[in-house]
Amino acid sequence: MVERPATAQSAERLRRALVAFISQELSAPAAAIIGFAEILLEDACQSGLEILVPDLKRIHEGGLQLQALLATLLDPAMMSARLTGGDLPGFKSKLRHDLRTPLNGIKGYGEMVLEEARDGGHDALLHDLTKLLGAADQLLGQIDAVVDRTDAMTAPTAGDEPATPPSRDLVNRVIASIQPVSERDADDRIVSSRILVVDDTAANRDLLSRRLIREGHLSEAVEDGQTALDRLACDAFDLVLLDLMMPGMNGFEVLCRIKADPRLRHLPVIMISALDEIDSIVRCIEAGAEDYLPKPFNPILLRARINASLEKKLLRDREQAVTEQLRVEKEKTETLLLNILPKTIIARMREGETAIADRFSEVSILFSDLVDFTDLASRFSPSRVVALLNHLFSEFDRLAAERGLEKIKTIGDAYMVAGGLPEPHAEHAVAVADMALGMLDVVKAAAATLGETLQVRIGIHTGAVIAGIIGKHKFIYDVWGDTVNTASRMETHGAPDQIHVSAATYLCVRDRFHCDARGPLEIKGKGLMETYFLRRRLAARSDLT
């Protein structure tokens, strides 16, 4: 591309900016007149003030006429020619005279409505009526001011000439702060992306694809909406350029289908269409389009909007990646916490409970301890000892989870589990007894694998306990009471590879398991207690959970 000299380019930019400034100065009051007229019409109809409606409609029609005249007079190409000397007197004459007819009508009807509103006590309308008349007065003043300043704004300044008028100074500051766009800006684009072009016209598809490839993107083009959806279902794209007016499934329907798909919902879509009516633009943006670009498109503007959309997607992808990472870490934390505390206890702590302590009238406590494990550990390497305990206790954890029991803690080679807390368990003693039989099988299998003698003592007692959280840093859910002490003594006074149960536990499980009387055991503070060895199940395992 051959670039014009910088001075000529700067002068042209200044002329374009001056045109935009004049258009803004005159168009804004006209838009305000139409806007306030529409609001007043709505208010009058809702309030039953039909007497004011005809004049308000005349004001609204005058505003539309004024806006149409301004659109003709402020056409950028025509204004640029006039401001450079082609027809400046004619431009001034049209501004002074053509716009005054609708403006005078607007002011006249507006003042009449204002008087009727005041006389009728309709104070709610006065504020907007005053604003409407103020916009009309502003536009009258702007017409004279623009005409008076047009010569000064377009005349060159040099040497000892008068100071630059405020309007031109404002425009100069704006364009000085915004650097011109050139082809070299393509080097500053974001990383190459994969873009799907959807257009039923072959020439449009080819043109868009070639421009995208020149920008360094990967482009794929399809001719209809269904093919586009099929491609999006198979492959990942970073952006879709979507034509609105297509036969069959139109672009708006494709957009809605994309945004309704959870997998594609965050894929940016830029609508490109010759249809530039405001309703189409609004509905597409509401449906989730990232942007809307009219045809024929400006290639520099297209590049800017594509890059802006891709950068948003890049930021959104990073955000989603961080969110997913946080979710994974939260799950890890949740799992770790569930390995320490019961689920219901965690829920209570999250609700703000700080001192958790409960009394349970009947639970079953199991203690187990490996026989002569100290001697075995002295002959094994540290890693082998840890591996053995990890295997046994992991299997014990599995047995407890399957039966709805709560592991309390391990101490060395001892393992403690409870049934019936923190949530009630109708057959806690039966479930604990069944777990004990499973523990014997686990230890027997481990012994066979090791080729070593490995035995376990197990004791169970049923009764009341207190349970709660202790500690602040390395907290633990623990149980206390005479039932815990008695269960520990049942294990201590048991026998290798035997399940020693108290009379209280026996009464709870005798209909489900075969038990042999072991004889009385002296319990401190309780005297003699009948005890039993639990042998085997009499009921199916499926009945125990």
CATH of the domain at 92: 1.20.120
Asked whether residue 220 falls in the same domain as residue 252, the answer is yes
Instruction: Flag whether 343 is in a domain.
Output: no
Whether 165 and 142 map to the same domain: the answer is yes
Residue 65 lies in a domain: yes
Residue 384 domain flag: yes
CATH of the domain at 251: 3.40.50.2300
Domain membership of residue 336 (yes or no) is: no
- 149 and 215 in a single domain? The answer is no
Bridge partners (DSSP) listed for residue 308 = none
pLDDT tens-place values along the chain, 545 residues long = 444 455 666 666 666 666 666 776 777 788 888 888 888 998 889 888 888 899 999 999 998 988 888 887 777 666 666 656 555 666 666 676 777 778 888 888 889 899 998 888 888 888 888 988 988 888 888 776 766 655 555 555 444 444 445 555 655 555 455 555 554 454 454 567 899 999 988 888 888 888 888 888 899 999 999 999 999 999 999 999 999 888 889 999 999 999 999 999 889 999 988 776 777 888 888 999 998 888 777 778 888 888 888 888 888 888 888 988 888 888 888 777 777 778 888 888 888 777 888 899 999 999 999 998 988 888 889 999 999 999 999 999 999 999 999 999 989 899 999 999 888 888 999 999 999 999 999 999 999 998 888 999 999 999 999 998 887 777 788 899 999 999 999 999 999 999 999 999 999 999 999 999 988 887 776 777 889 999 988 855 545 44
From the centroid of its chain, how far is CA 302? 28
DSSP 519-544: EEEEETTTEEEEEEEEEEESS-GGGG
Q: How many domains would you assign to the chain?
A: 3
Nearest-angstrom CA–CA distance, 87 and 522: 121
Looking at the structure, tell me whether residues 93 and 55 fall in a common domain: yes
Same domain, 225 and 199: yes
Distance CA 251, CA 303 (A): 21
Range 151-158, long-range pairs (CB < 8 A, 24+ positions):
151/88, 153/18, 153/22, 153/83, 154/15, 154/18, 154/83, 154/84, 154/85, 154/88
Q: Which amino acid is at 85?
A: G
Same domain, 196 and 173: no
Q: Give domain status of residue 82, yes or no.
A: yes
Inside any domain, residue 376:
yes
Are residues 256 and 201 both part of a single domain?
yes
Q: In this structure, is the dihedral angle defined by the CA atoms of residues 528, 533, 537 and 543, taken in order, positive or negative? A: positive
Domain's final residue, options 302, 317, 332? 317
Report if residue 74 sits inside a domain: yes
**Domain that residue 294 falls in:** 192-317
Q: Is the Cα dihedral 431, 435, 437, 438 positive or negative?
A: positive
The rounded distance, in Å, linking the Cα atoms of 87 and 504 is: 112
Q: How far apart are CA 467 and CA 477, in angstroms?
A: 7
Same domain, residue pair 534 and 430:
yes
Radius of gyration of the chain (CA): 43
Strands 239-243 vs 269-273: parallel, antiparallel or unpaired: parallel
From 132, 149, 177, the end of a domain falls on: 177
Q: Is residue 413 assigned to a domain?
A: yes
59 & 17 share domain: yes
Q: Which amino acid is at 438?
A: G
Residue ending a domain, among 299, 317, 335, is 317
Q: Same structural domain for residues 298 and 387? A: no
Query: Do 223 and 362 share a domain, yes or no?
Result: no
Q: Do 173 and 199 reside in the same domain of the chain?
A: no
